[in-house]
Amino acid sequence: MTTRRPSRPAEQRGAVPLIYLRQLPSWLVPMVIAALFVVGLAVRGWAGAVALGLVAAFMAWLAYLSWPALAARGRLGRVLAIAALLSLAAFVATR
């Protein structure tokens, strides 16, 4: 298993938001993501789907930033997790 160094463009594009997130209290981002996930599961219709979509978007952004450094197994895991979350959002939107 080899790990590769992240590419320059991904590092540069992600640097500013990551620095901003790093300056926030360490509990805030996980708490907001957890709250969006709970709201997404609890609220029916489009509001719940949007909440789950925001969680999926955050996960996709983190996956994008780490993609060059991942082996195939790590990439597959991230793709499956995001796909499952988007499927759940579609289900919530229709109930």
pLDDT tens figures, 36-68: 999 999 999 999 999 999 999 999 988 888 887
Q: CB-hemisphere CA count at 13 Å for 36? A: 19
Round the CA-based radius of gyration of the chain to a whole number and report it. 15
- Across residues 77-86, what is the average pLDDT? 94
Residue 24 backbone zone (phi > 0: left; psi -120 to 50: alpha; other: beta): beta
Q: How confident is the model at residue 4 (pLDDT cuts 50, 70, 90)?
A: low
And the tokens for 89?
């959002």
Question: Considering the chain, what is the average pLDDT of its residues?
Answer: 86
